[in-house]
Structure 1
Amino acid sequence: MRGWLDDTRTSYDTVALSYAELLRDALAGEPFQRGILALFAELVRAQDAGPVADIGCGPGRITAHLHRAGLDAFGIDLSPVMVDVARRDHPGLRFEVGSMTSLDLADGYLTGLLAWFSLIHVPDDEVPTVLAEFRRVLRPGGVVLLGFHAGDGSRRVTEGYGGRMNVHVHRRPPGRIAAWLRAAGFAVEAEMVHHPAPNVEGGFVFAHR
C-alpha cells in the first residue's frame, strides 16, 4: 500500500469516533455548503435515477444528507473504523471500505460522484490516478463535485479531531483542480471559492463526464 494511503487510513481510524461527534451537526451552520450540495443533487436528478457515491465519506453525514435530498447515495471510505461509525449512525444506508485510487465499482456505474474534502490528502502526482478512476466509474453525462481546501501549499498534520494523526493536507486553487479534471476527460462547469472565515477558503468544482 502506498505510504500516504496507509497513513491516512490509520489516522482516520484513530479519530473516527471524535470526528463523527465534532462534525455531526456541522452542516446546520453551513448554508453555503448546503446550497452547493443542493445544486449537486439537482444536477444529478437531471441525469435521471442512478447511484451516487460519496467518496471519502467518513462517518456518513454527507451521504445521509444526499439521501435526504432524494439521491440513491452510498459511501466509500478508506478507514474501516469510519465505515463502522457510518453504518452505526446511518443503518439504512450502504457504506463500504475502499480506496479512491482503485474503486470496486463497474465502469459507468454511477450517475453522480462526490469527493467532499477527501482529495486533500492525495499527493499531486496521485491525483491523475484518482480522477481517472472517477471518470471510469461515472456514466456519460455523470456529475462530479469536488470540495477541497482552496489556496496553495501543503502541511503535515500530526494532531486533529481530538487525536493523533499523520497526514499531509494539500491546498489547491480551483483553477488547478479544474485543469486536472479537464486533463482527465471531464467538462468543467463551475469553479467556486467560499470564504467561511478570515483566511479560510473552501474550493468547489463541478464537472461532468
Structure 2
Amino acid sequence: MANPTRWSTDTGPEHSQWYVDRFRRLAAEGADLAGEARLLDTLVPPRSRILDAGCGTGRVGAELAARGHTVIGVDADPVLVEAARVDHPGPRWLVADLAELDLAAVGEPEPFDGAVVAGNVMAFVAPGTEREVLRRITAHLRPDGVMAVGFGTDRGYPLTDFDADAVAAGLRVEHRFATWDLRPWREENDFAVTVLRRPAA
C-alpha cells in the first residue's frame, strides 16, 4: 500500500475488531443490514457480477451473493477481510488497496456489471487518492456498468469534489438520494447515496 488509508491512520489498533464485533452483534440481533444490497440488486440484471469495493466484514456482498450474484469483495483491512471469509463463505474476499486495484493480476479479469461502495469507504481511503480509487473501480466495470456509492458528506470529502472526481474517472452521475432506501436528496442532508454509470462505448 503506497499510502495508508484513513481507516488505518485515523482509528486505534482495536478499531477493526470492534467493527467486526459490532456487525456480528447487529446481525445476531436481527438488524436490517441489507439496504445497500437491495438497492444494487435493483440496478443490475439477475446473476450479475458485482464488485464490493471496501467490503469490510462482507455483509453487503454476502446479501448480493444470496440474491444470486457473483461477488468479489475487496478491502485494505486484513482483519475485516478475514471476518468476511469466516462469516460469509462463498464470495471471494481479497485484501487490496482500492487505489491500486488490479483484479486481473489476481485471476479476476472479467469485468463487473456493478459495483457497490458502501460504509463510508470514500471517506476512509488515503487522502488524495479518491479520484484514483474511483478510476480504478470504473476500470473494472463493463461499459454501461453501474456503481452505487454512499458516504457521509460531513467527513471531509465534499460532494462537489466527489462529483468532479467521478466525472474525471469516466463516470456519469445518474441519481442522488439521502439514504440507501431512496429518500429524496436535499442540500442539508449529511449523507449521500449516488448512482453512477460508466457510459457505454
Q: TM-score, normalised by structure 1?
A: 0.74
Partner of 2:121: 118
1:204–1:12 distance in 2 versus 1, CA, 3 Å: farther
> Does structure 2 retain, via aligned residues, the 8 Å contact 1:111–1:143?
yes
Contact preservation (8 Å) 1:44, 1:143:
yes
Aligned to 1:5: 5
CA contact (8 A) 1:9 1:78 kept: no
Pairing of 1:178-193 with structure 2 (within 5 A):
178-193=163-178
Distance 1:6 1:120 in 2: 8
Query: Of 190, 194, 197, which residue of structure 2 is paired with 1:208?
Result: 197
What is the aligned partner in structure 2 of residue 162 from structure 1? none
Q: Secondary structure at the match of 2:57?
A: coil
Q: How do 1:1-209 and structure 2 match up within 5 A?
A: 1-5=1-5, 8=8, 11=11, 14-24=14-24, 25=26, 29=31, 34=35, 37-45=37-45, 49-106=47-104, 109-116=111-118, 117-123=120-126, 125-151=128-154, 170-194=155-179, 201-209=190-198
Query: 2-side partners of 1:12 and 1:143: how far apart?
Result: 34
Aligned residues: 184
Higher strand share: 1
Q: TM-score, normalised by structure 2?
A: 0.77
- What is the rounded CA distance, in whole Å, between the counterparts of 1:147 and 1:190 in structure 2? 12
CA distance in 1, matches of 2:13, 2:70: 26
Query: C-alpha distance in 1, partners of 2:32/2:176?
Result: 19
Structure 1 unaligned blocks of 5 or more: 152-169
Q: 1:174 to 1:28 in 2, by over 3 A?
A: farther
Does the Cα contact within 8 Å between 1:13 and 1:79 map onto a contact in 2? no
Contiguous gaps of at least 5 residues in structure 2: none
The 8 Å contact of residues 41 and 66 in structure 1, kept in 2 or not, is answered as: yes
- CA change 1:137–1:84 in 2 (3 A) is same
RMSD: 3.0
Deviation readout 1:102-157 (Å, 9 max, x if unpaired): 11323661111111121112355311111111111111011111111123xxxxxx
Distance 1:183 1:200 in 2: 25
Q: Which residue of 2 aligns with 1:154?
A: none
The 2-side partners of 1:185 and 1:78 are apart by 23
* Paired residues of 1:54 and 1:75 also in contact (CA < 8 A): yes
> Which amino acid is the alignment partner of residue 142 of structure 2?
R
